[in-house]
Amino acid sequence: MKYLFVAVLSFLCAAQSISQETYAEKLGYPKGKKIIIFHIDDAGMSYEANQGTILAMEKGVANSTSVMMPCGWVPAYMKYVQQHPTTDAGVHLTLTSEWKGYRWFPISGREKVPGLLDKEGAMWSNVGDVVKHATPDEVEIEIRAQIARFRAFGVEPSHIDSHMGTLFGSAAFTERYIKVGIQEKIPVMLPGGHATLIAKERNSPAQEIQQFQQIGKMLWNAGLPVLDDLFADTYGWKLSPETPNTEDNLRKMKTEKYIELLKEAKPGITMVIMHCAAPSENFKEITDSWPTRYGDLYAMQDPVLKKFIEKEGIILTTWREMRERRAKVK
């Protein structure tokens, strides 16, 4: 009975929020329209991640990305951004280093953030260990250092978000994340509207969604644009074990999944998170997640997906456009 009550409460809360004005409408987008950000995580992580991001945005429907500032291929990607200043690029605030043979380290210095270091001297490989060992002060020091490095390339970040969701791993971390975004006047990735897809993805209780909505109001009142919804589980879309990870199979599966997701999305601004990488034998040595990353790249360039978006009248937007629209709203 307890779980039934929570489920009903969650449904009523979601239904009530959907009936209210969306943040998309507040920003001047047409009422009742689905506004989508196709967002690529992990730019700067490797050459393949850089090339996949560029291809998906230049030749596909992807239109936003964020950069992992502690990683080795950051300068190459930031030079691209300098040469293409309209690129919608933010900071992928990174507090974990999850691969076994390819690691990265805090850029604020080991002495300043010892709680972010594992026994190898790299960042922890999982969110739980970061929450267990790092203090909120250390987290804030490091995320400020990553924003400062991004700006050192002469570029203003379009937004900030969180690698592996670490900044949502504890309330104290989330508080610092929001604080830094407001103080630095940078839009913050957080589903502050009806949050329909993310609630389903996370199996969120009504209380969590209400907290997101309260933070959304705080961000809006601080002069920042706010997402209505978020979907982050494209990483988990995989072929069945008996189906080969060929280009055709990956493209078809991923494109079908994206179309299903777009059908399910509610009106408002929804950010859809993905990971694109250009195929190479070297990349397979970095991570076994290459099939989902290749699949995302193939889907973003698939004419079938583009045609569906046009047919359904779905509007694609970016953080930069949202920011410009927010500046015009009193």
Q: Is residue 163 within a helix (H) or strand (E), and if so which, with residue range?
A: none
Considering only residues 7 and 277, tell me which one the structure prediction assigns the higher pLDDT. Answer: 277
What's 123's DSSP letter?
A: B
For 84, the 3-state DSSP assignment is: coil
- Specify the fold of 21-328: TIM Barrel (3.20.20)
**What's the rounded Cα separation, in Å, for the pair 231 and 253?**
17
Query: How do residues 173-197 score in pLDDT, each as one tens digit?
Result: 999 999 999 999 999 999 999 999 9
**What's the rounded Cα separation, in Å, for the pair 296 and 292?**
6
**What's the rounded Cα separation, in Å, for the pair 17 and 45?**
37
Q: What pLDDT score was predicted for residue 19? A: 57
Average per-residue pLDDT for the chain: 94
Place of tokens 């260990």: 129
Where does the chain show beta strands of DSSP type E? 34-43, 64-67, 89-93, 160-162, 229-231, 268-274, 315-316
Neighbours of 277 (CB within 10 A): 30
For 229, the 3-state DSSP assignment is: strand
**SS3 letters across 169-226:** CCHHHHHHHHHHHHHHCCCECCECCCCHHHHHHHCCCHHHHHHHHHHHHHHHHCCCCC
**What's the rounded Cα separation, in Å, for the pair 288 and 138?**
30
Query: How do residues 268-319 score in pLDDT, each as one tens digit?
Result: 999 999 999 999 999 999 999 999 999 999 999 999 999 999 999 999 999 9
For 67, the 3-state DSSP assignment is: strand
Look up the pTM and report it: 0.93
Q: How confident is the model at residue 123 (pLDDT cuts 50, 70, 90)?
A: very high
C-alpha gyration radius of the chain? 19
Neighbours of 192 (CB within 10 A): 26
**What's the rounded Cα separation, in Å, for the pair 306 and 258?**
11
Place of tokens 């209210």: 20
Q: How is the chain split into domains, by residue range?
A: 21-328
Residue 1 pLDDT exceeds 50: no
Query: How do residues 232-274 score in pLDDT, each as one tens digit?
Result: 999 999 999 999 999 999 999 999 999 999 999 999 999 999 9
Task: Give the phi and the psi of residue 270 in degrees, each rounded to 5.
Answer: -115, 125
Query: What residues does 271 pair with on adjacent strands?
Result: 37, 230
- Of 123, 131, 124, nearest to 106 by C-alpha is 123
DSSP-assigned letters across all residues of 85-117: TT--EEEEE------SSS----SS-TTT-GGGB
Q: What percent of the chain has pLDDT over 90?
A: 93
**What's the rounded Cα separation, in Å, for the pair 161 and 179?**
13
